[in-house]
Amino acid sequence: MNDSLIPVWDKSLEKNKIRYFTKELLIESNRAAIREKRNRKFSEEYLYTLEDDKPYIVADSSFHKKDEMRVLIAFNGYDYDYLDMSLLRFNSLPIGTVSDDNCIIPEDPTITEEKRPYSAGREWEEKVVKKPVRKQYNFRKEVLSAYSNQCAVCTVNIPKILRAAHIIPVVNSSDDTVNNGICLCINHEVLFDSNDLKITPNYEIVIKENSNIKVEFNKIRLPQNLEDYPSKENLTKRYYNK
């Protein structure tokens, strides 16, 4: 694996060390970028035209987003391009040593193999997990205001022990509107979450059989404004699917 030295701006390694791809690793990493729907990737047809016995140097690298690296790959002295990859995959790349005559001494393959999460050349896939950013403070404030700071199934009206309960969990619907919330005291929120207390699409309160749960109404106490009423569609989904 001989190559004239290419300018490198990666400051994360010692002066005479250099990260590189083999052609096989470059194709593998590119396929991972395609599978994982990353932004920067190459045409596989182009990669197959590359020389086999040559190191493809990581000239520069930077954190592109959380747990993702954007690497600048040198294909020759004037042709550079970017590839996005996971931090784990980046850290598993081989690190060669630059010799006195500007050649790359490759890393021992057993060391490279030990850095990979799976042995025997087995590939892996990583996913970017997307989670909703919960605007919990605003949601709670709006729901409690809609219900005039009182539990919808009892007379508790102490704000510090009231909760804004989601009808459909926000992780399943991304719905942080007032219509996906009901004001409940701590006790009734726990029962609602455990499904021991259910609310029908017609706002009736249904208690689990053989329980000692007590409520003060047959139907929930609704907000003053019609536009703040809990969504019947969401109540239907929750009532019949849980």
Q: Kindly give the confidence (pLDDT) of every residue in the chain, 242 residues in length, as a single tens digit, with 9 standing for 90 and above.
A: 544 555 555 556 677 889 999 999 999 999 999 998 999 999 999 999 999 988 999 988 888 777 889 999 998 777 889 999 999 999 999 999 988 887 888 999 899 888 888 765 677 666 665 555 555 668 899 999 999 999 999 999 999 999 999 999 876 667 889 999 999 999 999 999 988 999 999 999 999 887 777 778 899 999 999 999 999 999 999 998 85
**Among 15, 28, 30, 21, which residue's Cα sits nearest to residue 1?**
21
* Domain extents in the chain: 17-115, 136-241
**Six-digit token pair at 50?**
């590359």
Task: List residues bridging with 184 in a β-sheet.
Answer: 163
55 class by beta-carbon count within 10 Å (0-12 exposed, 13-18 middle, 19+ buried): buried
DSSP string, 209-242: TT-----S-SBPPPPSSGGGSPPHHHHHHHHHH-
pTM greater than the 0.75 cutoff: no
